[in-house]
Amino acid sequence: MEYFGVVSLSTLWLLLALRYTGREKWLASAKLRLLFIVPILTLLAIWTNEAHGLMWHQVVIDPSDPFPILYWMRGVWFWVFTVYTYLLLLLGTILLIETVVRSHDLYRGQAVVLLIGALVPWIGNALYLFGFDLFGRLVPTPVLFTFTGVAMAWGLFRFQLLDIVPVAREAVLESMSDAVIVLDEQNRIVDLNAAAQSLIDSPTSEVVGKPFSQLLPIGLDSIQRWEERSETRNEMILEDEDHKQYTFDPRVSLLHDRRGKLAGRLLVLRDITERKQIEEALRLARDQALESSRMKSRLLANVSHELRTPLGAILGYSEFLRDGTYGSVSEEQVDILEKIIESTSYLSRLVSQLLEQAKIEAGQTTLNMLPFSLQELVERVESKSSIEARAKGLSLLFRLEDVPNIVIGDERKIEQILLNLVSNALKFTGEGEVQVRIYRCDEHQLALQVTDTGPGIPDDMREEIFKPFRRVDDSVTREHGGIGLGLAIVEQLVMLMEGRIELETALGTGSTFTVFLPIDYEKETL
């Protein structure tokens, strides 16, 4: 039974070394089972030794000693097995030595511990086998395994021998698309992963030990700068032989040894070329969109402006004609001229709206804050809209409640807001009334409220109607002219004044638009 351990030891050692050095592929191979043939044969040979003496051809007792000792005369298979065992031990050891040479400090320590664990009993065994009688005829191997135990225990607790396998670390680093470079305290390259190698474009053996600044166009000052500002985004551009530019996001971490002394730096270069390209494309697209929007606004503004002048002439001359300035006109001609004037006024209103919208979009609308009389403003709006109210048989009521007469604001724009709301109310209301209330809702806010008894606005259009060129798609709206700019302009002017607009409406009952504007009063009028 005691030979189960002895025969399988070297095979298991090799398996451990394979696993530790990350040769998982070998471990998975079915051929590995062949390694157990010799151990099994050996075990069989031991059990059946009496019959053939292949392991030991003779066992004698040396009675001359006061403490009699057994001597095992070794047979052929014993040497076969020994050679086999030594070969496997050697193989495993070579693998580990390779790791010791290649690895970083922590893992080097681990591998050394493993090696000591294996070498001590092995050397002891070799000395004994080849006749160096160090221990007074005693087989030293089992005793020397104590060292192995101690070494392994130390390795386990000190280095977490089987937890952090160096291979895992290496696999991660190698598969990373970020270039990782380890520098020592003198900024010489100690290690680098595959991505970094392809960046530097020379094999590891040639670059290790060289100052990084010889291989990469990065100055020491940059490294120090990146260290300090690990949170902010840095950028670094490198060019390859074809002058293709790559952008990297460099990060530097300081590496300290156990005593807290600076041992080196870890330089990670993340390739953000693609991200940069996308950002650039987005920026371009946005600029183009902005530019074409500006173009559109400019075109609209110019065209509208050009339209306004001839329209003014048509309107003016038609009115002169109608009023008989250029000679008498028949009743029929007056009728026609009225129609021309009506259509021209409508066109001119539309053109004004287009121009206004274009100016707002182009950011050319500014506020002109001056003291003015609310009373006078209301009178003007009243006189401009009362004709239409009367024509439609609607009652139009204006109420100024508890407001100072003189306020400070942009008179023309406030008038425009009110006129737009009132003209919409009149336009869409078939019968009933339109009420305009102007009141102070608090110290700093003025409210302009227009209520009608019109058709109301469907819920799903409550927000839509404030967008340019959006109208409710119903018969009432279709019946009336308009291009859907009135409320858009109102809302934008209100926003410009840092106010807000509210809409209360119920289908069939009517709508109430309330505009709240921050307002300053002339002190003496309070």
Tell me how far CA of residue 459 lies from CA of 108, 139, 430, in angstroms: 74, 98, 20
Binding residue (CB under 6 A) for ligand ADP from 39, 155, 166, 454 = 454
Q: Could you give phi then psi for residue 516, rounded to 5 degrees?
A: -105, 125
Q: Between residues 185 and 474, which has the closer beta carbon with respect to ligand ADP?
A: 474
- Whose tokens are 């309107």? That residue is 315
What is the distance between the alpha carbons of residues 501 and 491, in angstroms, rounded to a whole number?
7
Write down the least CB distance from residue 393 to ligand ADP, Å.
17
**466-525: which residues touch ligand ADP (CB under 6 A)?**
471-472, 477, 482-488, 511
Q: Between residues 265 and 471, which has the closer beta carbon with respect to ligand ADP?
A: 471
CB distance 239 to 222 below 8 Å: no
Write down the least CB distance from residue 463 to ligand ADP, Å.
11
* 3-class DSSP assignment, residue 190: strand
Q: Between residues 191 and 356, which has the closer beta carbon with respect to ligand ADP?
A: 356
Judged by CB under 6 A, does residue 159 bind ligand ADP?
A: no
Measured from the Cβ of residue 250, the count of other Cβ atoms closer than 10 Å reads 19
Judged by CB under 6 A, does residue 371 bind ligand ADP?
A: no
* 3-class DSSP assignment, residue 87: helix
Q: Between residues 88 and 425, which has the closer beta carbon with respect to ligand ADP?
A: 425
Q: Between residues 11 and 357, which has the closer beta carbon with respect to ligand ADP?
A: 357
Q: Which stretch binds ligand ADP (CB under 6 A): 226-234, 239-247, 334-342, 420-428?
A: 420-428
Q: Between residues 125 and 492, which has the closer beta carbon with respect to ligand ADP?
A: 492
What is the distance between the alpha carbons of residues 423 and 450, in angstroms, rounded to a whole number?
10
Judged by CB under 6 A, does residue 347 bind ligand ADP?
A: no
Judged by CB under 6 A, does residue 360 bind ligand ADP?
A: no
Judged by CB under 6 A, does residue 425 bind ligand ADP?
A: yes
What is the dihedral sign for C-alpha 457, 460, 466, 470? negative
Q: Which stretch binds ligand ADP (CB under 6 A): 1-9, 174-182, 422-430, 436-444?
A: 422-430
Judged by CB under 6 A, does residue 46 bind ligand ADP?
A: no
Judged by CB under 6 A, does residue 211 bind ligand ADP?
A: no
Write down the least CB distance from residue 249 to ligand ADP, Å.
49
Judged by CB under 6 A, does residue 155 bind ligand ADP?
A: no
Tell me how far CA of residue 181 lies from CA of 6, 176, 208, 247, in angstroms: 45, 12, 10, 17
Write down the least CB distance from residue 506 to ligand ADP, Å.
11
* 3-class DSSP assignment, residue 266: strand
Applying CB under 6 A, what is the total number of residues that bind ligand ADP? 19
Judged by CB under 6 A, does residue 356 bind ligand ADP?
A: no
Judged by CB under 6 A, does residue 394 bind ligand ADP?
A: no
Write down the least CB distance from residue 499 to ligand ADP, Å.
17
Write down the least CB distance from residue 488 to ligand ADP, Å.
6
What is the distance between the alpha carbons of residues 307 and 321, in angstroms, rounded to a whole number?
21
Write down the least CB distance from residue 449 to ligand ADP, Å.
12
Write down the least CB distance from residue 413 to ligand ADP, Å.
16
* 3-class DSSP assignment, residue 177: coil
What is the distance between the alpha carbons of residues 222 and 238, in angstroms, rounded to a whole number?
14
What is the distance between the alpha carbons of residues 301 and 354, in angstroms, rounded to a whole number?
7
What is the distance between the alpha carbons of residues 11 and 85, in angstroms, rounded to a whole number?
8
71: Cβ–Cβ under 8 A, 6 or more apart, which residues? Answer: 59, 60, 61, 62
Judged by CB under 6 A, does residue 455 bind ligand ADP?
A: yes
Judged by CB under 6 A, does residue 396 bind ligand ADP?
A: no
237: Cβ–Cβ under 8 A, 6 or more apart, which residues? Answer: 245, 246, 247, 248
Enumerate binding residues for ligand ADP (CB under 6 A).
424-425, 428, 452, 454-455, 457, 465, 471-472, 477, 482-488, 511
